Amino acid sequence: MATILIIDDDPDMILAARLCMESAGHEVIEAADGSEGLEKIKEQRPDLIILDVMMDSTTEGFQFAIKLRSPDPTSPYAQYADIPIIMLTAIHSTTSLRFGPDEDYLPVDAFVEKPFDPDQLIAQVDELLNR
């Protein structure tokens, strides 16, 4: 039983992820954008974050992850830097960029392609929580 923060601007996506996570016995908190996400992190310190890559802008998800994982020890989010992040993305197959977890460029722990397969998402969450 863990607390999962889902950040996505698509309420249906949040609902689907929420149902998944709840069926796996996790507690879910939601945020509709990056700034709300950061607030929720400070308030409730989730055990894992599921992050959508594109929200208001095509890069909001990236910016969020980079901010949270800033290597600067004086960053206000330094204490949250070890929260695992799963990035939900459809971008993998459509833009000419090929993303992969890369510590320097994009500090996330795993990618799950959107629309996600519930079993795969649950498995990925469990794997990161048990790490």
Partner 1 sequence: MDDRFSDSQPAELSFQRDLSGDCRQLISMRWGVGSLVLIATAFAEIVLEVNLPVIGLVATGLAILGMNTYLTLITRPLSDLPGPQRRRRARQLVIIQILFDWVAMFVALHFTGGITSPALPFILVHGVVVAILLSSWMPYAYLALTIAILTILSLLERSGAIPHWYVIPALPLYLHRRPLFIAAQLSFIAITSSVVVYLTAAIMNRLIERERRVTTLLHTANTVSSIFSLSEVLDRLARGAAHALNVRAASIRLLDETGDNLNLAAAYGLSQNYVDKGPVDATGSQFSGEVLEGHPVIIDEVETDSRLQYQQQIAEEGIRSILAVPITGRGKPVGILRVYSDQPHRFSDDDADFIMAIASQGAIAVENAIAYETLYQSDSDRAQFVRMVTHELRSPVGGAQSLLRTLLRGMAGDLTEQQQDLLGRLEVRLDLLLDLINDLLALAESKTVGQREPLKRIPLQPVLGDVIKSMQVEADSKKVSLAYDAPFEIFAVLATEEGLVRVFRNLIGNAIKYTPSGGSVTVRVVERPSGAVISVADTGIGIPKEEISLLWNDFFRASNARRSKVSGTGLGLSIVKQLIDHFGGSVSVHSIEGEGTTFKVTLQIASPADEAA
Q: Least distance (Å) from partner 1 to the CB of residue 98?
A: 5
Tell me the C-alpha distance between 4 and 125, whole Å: 9
Region label for 10, one of left (φ > 0), alpha (ψ between -120 and 50) or beta (otherwise): beta
Contacts of 24 (CB under 8 A, 6+ apart): 122, 125, 126
Binding mask 61-90 for partner 1 (x = CB under 8 A): -----------------------------x
**What minimum distance in Å lies between the beta carbon of 117 and partner 1?**
6
Cα 84 from Cα 129, distance rounded (Å):
8
Q: Does 106 bind partner 1 (CB under 8 A)?
A: no
Letters for 9-48 (x = contact with partner 1 by CB under 8 A, - = none) are -x-xx-xxx-xx-xx-------------------------
| Shortest Å, Cβ 126 to partner 1 | 15
DSSP letter (8 states) at residue 24: T
Which helix H or strand E contains 36, and what residues bound it? helix 34-44
Choose between 81 and 113: whose C-beta lies nearer to partner 1. 113
Residue numbers at the binding site for partner 1 (CB under 8 A): 10, 12-13, 15-17, 19-20, 22-23, 54, 58, 90, 93-98, 114-119
